[in-house]
Amino acid sequence: MSYKDLISEKGLPSHVAIIMDGNGRWAKKRNKPRIFGHSAGVKSVKTVVEASREIGIKHLTLYTFSIENWKRPKDEVSSLMSLLVKTIKAYFDELHKNNIRVKVIGNYELLPEKIKKEVAYTQEISKNNTAMTLNIALSYGSQWEIADTARRISLEVLNGNIKPEEINTELFEKHLLTSHSPAPELLIRTSGEFRISNFLLYQLAYSEMYFTDTLWPDFNKEEFFKAIHYYQQRERRFGLTSEQLKNKPGK
């Protein structure tokens, strides 16, 4: 029996976020260069997007390239950027055909011009798609995002568009790069690491977290469905007691 058979349509997470880790180690085990692992990881991206569509996940966010990753060797960064352009061009038609909206979140200023152009084109063409939203965290760092959000809100205060007393969590969330998606209910991290690596720090406040030793290129549909099944076994209390949850209206 597959884990997919154990998943209930009721109680699916509307938003799943994934830290795709382990490409380099996967390649090293095969005595291959790191870019070989990144190329293999693209297949897992396609697999997870397809699996999400199959069971009805409406929002999927993939941690593709962090701000810290710019510190990696120049050859690796250059190869990653080339792979990214190639992947977007090769895979976008399929995403668009399947009515998937693509959003890229991150610090655009650090991206090469060719990437900026591909990102702009992809987002514009897919902006009205409604079946699913695929967020690609590219040149992304959550500490940077939070600081940048505070800066943009401060400018609106200075311009008289917002009063200081109007600033609350709801307003702050509307200014985050993920404002078009609900907060993730589930975070998945592959490769056996137990940290969130500057990823969606604000948005993950109440997310369930699932860690697996599986390296990203080996993360298949069954692994994904296993994570969803794990999520559905969790009791999400949001500060309440189990008794309070049972007595809530609609329970």
Record the tokens describing residue 42, joined without a space. 């693209």
Q: How far is CA 196 from CA 95, 142, 203, in A?
A: 27, 10, 12
3-class secondary-structure state, position 135: strand
Q: Give the span between the Cα atoms of 97 and 118, in whole angstroms.
A: 17
Look at residues 103, 104, 95, 178 and name the one whose alpha carbon lies nearest to residue 131.
Answer: 95
Q: And the tokens for 219?
A: 């993360």
Q: Which of 5, 21, 93, 98 is catalytic?
A: 21
List the catalytic residue out of 31, 69, 128, 213: 69
- To the query of whether residue 198 is one of the catalytic residues in this protein, the response is no
Q: Is 21 a catalytic residue?
A: yes
Kindly tell me the burial class for residue 64, based on how many C-beta atoms sit within 10 Å of its own C-beta (0-12, 13-18, 19 or more): buried
Other Cβ atoms closer than 10 A to 169: 9
d(CA 227, CA 209): 9
| Residues assigned a catalytic role | 21, 69
